[in-house]
Amino acid sequence: MDKGVQTRDAILDTGVEVAFSVGLGGLTIGALAERRRMSKSGLFAHFRSKEALQLAVLERARETFTDLVLRPALAAPRGEPRLRELFERWLTYGSKRIPGVCLFVKAATEFDEQPGRLRDRLAENHQDMLDTIAQVCRTGVSAGHLRADTDAEQFAHDMYGVLLVFYLTDRLLDDPAAERRTRVAFDALLDAIRT
Amino acid sequence: MDKGVQTRDAILDTGVEVAFSVGLGGLTIGALAERRRMSKSGLFAHFRSKEALQLAVLERARETFTDLVLRPALAAPRGEPRLRELFERWLTYGSKRIPGVCLFVKAATEFDEQPGRLRDRLAENHQDMLDTIAQVCRTGVSAGHLRADTDAEQFAHDMYGVLLVFYLTDRLLDDPAAERRTRVAFDALLDAIRT
C-alpha cells in the first residue's frame, strides 16, 4: 500500500477513536493533531476543514464496518446462516467496542437534529445497512428458511432495534444480561418468520 | 411558583433545547448565555460549572419526561392499558420531537464512553425507565392480561429497542413508515406474552 495512503488511514483510525470517545462533533483538527502529535497546519493540509475531516472519519469507519461485519457476513451461505452471521458479527464487534463498528450508532443520535452533509451521509449509511439486512432476509425467503409472507423491511427495522438496545444496555448500563437478552430478542424475531 | 424558580426553569428549558439540538456536550454556559441573552457571569452565578449546568438540564428533561409520559401513563388502568399508554406517550412526544422527552436517547450514546457524573446520572435514568416498564409489565401479569411466565425484564429490554429504532428511522432517516413499523413491532411483543 502507498505510504501516503497508510499515513492517511492511520490518522483517520485515530480520528475514529476520538470520535467514538467524545463524539464526531468533538473531533476537531486541533484535537486530532494533538493525539497524533502532528502540527495542526500539517493536518489542515490533509483535510482543509473540520467537516471534511469528520466525513473522512465516517468513511473510514464505514470501511472498518464493511471489513469486520458486512463482507464476511455476506460470504456466509444465503438465508438464515447469513442473517445470523451478520447479527453475530455486529454484536461481537459491538461488545468489543471496536470504534469503527460502533461509531454509526453514536453519531446517528448526535447529528439527527443538525442538517448538513454529515447528517445526510449518516442517514445514507444507516439506510444502506437497513437495506442490506432486508436483502439478506429475502435470501432467507428464497432459500426456503423464512416464510414467504415475511416483511423483510419490518425484520430489518426490528433487528436494528435489537442491536440499538444492546448498545445501550451493554455500554451505558454495563448490564451483564445485555448480550443474553439481545440473543433472546433476535431468536424471537427469527422464530416468528421461520418456515 | 416562586419567581426565581420560574426563571431557573425557563433557563433550563432553553438548555434542554440547545442540548437536544447540538448534544449535551455542546451545552456550555457561554452558548446558553447567548441564547438567553444573559451575561455569562450571571449564568455562571446560577450553575458554577458546565457539568453542573448539564446535570441540571438533564434533571429538567427528566421532569418533562415524567410530566408528559410517565405520570399520565401510570394513571392508566393497570396491565396492558398502562403499558400501551406508556408506549403511546413515549412515541407521540418522540415524534413531536419534544426536547425534554428526546434528550435521554440522544445523550445515552453521547456519554457512554465518558466516565463521570453525567454518565452515571444518565445510566440511572435509563435503568429507572427500564425498571418502570418491567414493573408495569408485571401489573399486566397480575391483572391476568399477560402470561404468568412473562419475563418482564426481557419485555422492557425489547420495548426499549422498539423505541430506539423509532428514533433512528423517524428522525435521522425521515422514514414515513417509521411509526407504523414501530406499532407493528410493539404489537408483536405484546402478542407474544398475552394470555
Percent of chain B residues past pLDDT 90, beyond the cut: 84
- Altogether, the residues listed in chain B come to a count of 195
Q: Which residues of B touch A154 (CB under 8 A)?
A: 181, 184-185
DSSP code at position A24 = G
Question: What CA–CA distance (Å, rounded) separates A93 from A45?
Answer: 33
Residue A42 — pLDDT band, cuts 50, 70, 90? Answer: confident
Q: Kindly state the greatest CA–CA separation across chain B.
A: 60
The conformation of residue B77, written as its DSSP 8-state character, comes to P
- CA pair distance A119, A112, nearest whole angstrom: 6
Among candidates B105, B108, B154 on the partner chain, residue whose Cβ is nearest the Cβ of A184: B154
Among A38-42, B12-16, B53-57, which stretch is predicted with the lowest mean pLDDT?
A38-42
> Does B116 contact A at CB distance below 8 Å?
no
CA closest to B122 among chain A residues: A172
Closest residue in A to B105 (Cα) is A109
Which residues is B146 bridged to in the sheet?
Answer: B194
Read off the DSSP letter of residue B24: G
Report the distance separating Cα A21 and Cα A118, nearest Å.
18
- What confidence tier does A26 reach under pLDDT thresholds 50, 70, 90? confident
The interface predicted TM-score of the complex, written ipTM, equals 0.94
- The burial of B2, by beta-carbon neighbours within 10 Å (0-12 exposed, 13-18 middle, 19 or more buried), is given as exposed
Phi and psi dihedrals of A6, rounded to 5?
-60, -45
Determine phi and psi for B3, rounding to 5 degrees.
-60, -40
CB under 8 Å to A159, separation ≥6 — which residues? A87, A133, A186, A189
* A21 at interface of B, judged by CB pairs closer than 8 A: yes
| HEC secondary structure over A130-175 | HHHHHHHHHHHHHCCCECCCCCHHHHHHHHHHHHHHHHHHHHHCCC
Is residue A23 within 8 A of residue B110, CB to CB? The reply is: yes
pLDDT tier for residue B191 given thresholds of 50, 70 and 90 = very high
CB contact under 8 A, B181 and A153: yes
Backbone φ, ψ for residue A97 (5° rounding): 55, 45
CA distance B161 to chain A (A): 4
**What pLDDT, on a 0 to 100 scale, did the predictor assign at position A174?**
95
Check residue A45 and give its pLDDT: 87
* Residue A46 reports pLDDT greater than 90: no
Mean pLDDT of B177-184: 98
- In this structure, the dihedral spanned by the alpha carbons of residues B142, B71, B166 and A187, taken in order and rounded to 10 degrees, is -20
Q: Where are the domains of chain B?
A: 3-193
Residue A114: predicted pLDDT = 92
Rounded average pLDDT over A117-121: 96
- Mean of the per-residue pLDDT values of chain B: 94
- Here the cell at position A24 is 464526531
Rounded to the nearest 5°, which phi and psi values hold at B177? -90, 0
Give the CATH fold of the A3-193 domain.
Tetracycline Repressor; domain 2 (1.10.357)
The confidence score (pLDDT) of residue A6 equals 87
3-state secondary structure of B133: helix
CA angle A58, A60, A66 (to 5 degrees): 105
Give the integer Cα–Cα distance in Å for B41 and B48.
9
**Residue B146: HSE in the Cβ half-sphere, 13 Å Cα cutoff:** 27
Residue of A nearest to B152 (CA): A181
pLDDT, tens digit (0-9, with 9 covering 90-100), for B87-145: 999 999 999 999 999 999 989 999 999 999 999 999 999 999 999 999 999 999 999 99
Q: Give the C-alpha separation, B182 to B162, whole Å.
A: 6
Task: Inform me whether the pLDDT recorded for A70 exceeds 90.
Answer: yes
Work out whether the CA dihedral B135, B139, B141, B146 comes out positive or negative.
negative
Does A149 reach chain B within 8 Å, measured CB to CB?
Answer: no
- Report the distance separating Cα A24 and Cα A103, nearest Å: 8
Instruction: Return the pLDDT at B80.
Output: 96
Note whether B161 contacts A165, CB cutoff 8 Å: yes
Cβ count near B195 (within 10 Å): 12
pLDDT of residue B141: 97
pLDDT at A1 over 80: no
Where does residue A39 fall: left (phi above 0), alpha (psi -120 to 50 degrees), or beta otherwise? Answer: beta
Residue A16 and residue A64 in contact, taking contact as beta carbons nearer than 8 Å = yes
Question: Which of B18, B27, B133, B172 to substitute to test the interface with A, most A CBs within 10 Å?
Answer: B172
Instruction: Establish if A2 touches chain B: CB-CB under 8 angstroms.
Output: no
Q: What is the mean pLDDT of residues A137-142?
A: 97
| CA–CA gap between residue B130 and residue B104 (Å, rounded) | 13
Residue A3: its pLDDT value, please?
84
How far is C-alpha A121 from the geometric centre of its chain's CA atoms? 13
pLDDT interval class at A7 (50, 70, 90): confident
* Average pLDDT rounded to a whole number, residues B165-178: 96
